[in-house]
Structure 1
Amino acid sequence: MEPIFMMVAMLAIFYFILIRPENKRKKQAQEMRDSLKKGDTVTTIGGIVGKIVSTDQNTIIIETSEDRVRMELTRWAVSTVGVQTGEQPENAKKEKKEKKEEAADPVNEIPAPEKEEK
């Protein structure tokens, strides 16, 4: 009886930790791809950024630059809506720089030797 209970418990833990969150992410991605509309700025899985010009059942056409370069892509190739950048905001850059400077400052104080008690 106890080994069966342990197997069921392990399967339940496996489901709630691995399977359920993955299904939730897939559902959110599918909803995002289904809600694409003309005028949205998207980033593809390959990193191409463009503005949607027209949509179809399974494909979208994006315009990638001011030169009106157009590309036809399948909907599943869209990674995110909006521009995805690796740049940090200015405040985060300043804080990171300040932390580096604080860590680089040498310590000028010499600790006093400890006295041994007898």
Structure 2
Amino acid sequence: MNNAYATLMSASGNATTGGYLVTFLPLVLILVFFYFFIMKPQKKQEKADREMRENVDVGDEIITNGGIIGIVTQVKEDNVVIETGGDRSKIRIMKWAIAKVVTDDDEDSKDKV
């Protein structure tokens, strides 16, 4: 009788461990999916944006997050001065407000042709 009880307890212990594995496996798979398809590409894009903002030089044409298009006339540590419009008005903006560097895109497309 003791052998039957020991066998029953060991079998239920294995079933419980397997039950936990089956319960948590989908959760682990969802977390892995989110990491590889959402978090990792987002970090890669943030790194590319940070490098783009750090590599802005005088003479580059940029577009800000607000839609202002201008040419960079001065670069400082955390901001840039851009020249906009026909009357050459100057605006100082923060580097984080730069959405796109147009000059680099034009040069890349010319190199490919």
Superposed pair shares fold, TM > 0.5: yes
> 2:36 is paired with a residue of what secondary structure?
helix
Q: In the alignment, is residue 71 of structure 1 matched against residue 83 of structure 2?
A: no
Distance in 1 of aligned mates of 2:73 and 2:87: 14
- Ranges of 4+ aligned residues in structure 1 off by more than 4 Å: none
Q: Give the TM-score taking structure 2 as reference length.
A: 0.69
**Residue of structure 2 equivalent to 1:15:** 35
Distance in 2 of aligned mates of 1:10 and 1:46: 36
Q: What is the alpha-carbon root mean square deviation over aligned residues? A: 1.2
More helix by proportion, 1 or 2?
Answer: 2
TM-superposed CA distance for 1:5, in Å, is 2.1
Q: Which runs of 5+ in 1 are unaligned?
A: 84-118
Q: How many residues align?
A: 83
Q: Which runs of 5+ in 2 are unaligned?
A: 1-20, 104-113
> 1:36 is paired with a residue of what secondary structure?
coil
Larger Rg: 2
Identity of aligned residues (%): 31
* Of 12, 29, 38, the match for 2:49: 29
Distance in 2 of aligned mates of 1:80 and 1:46: 11
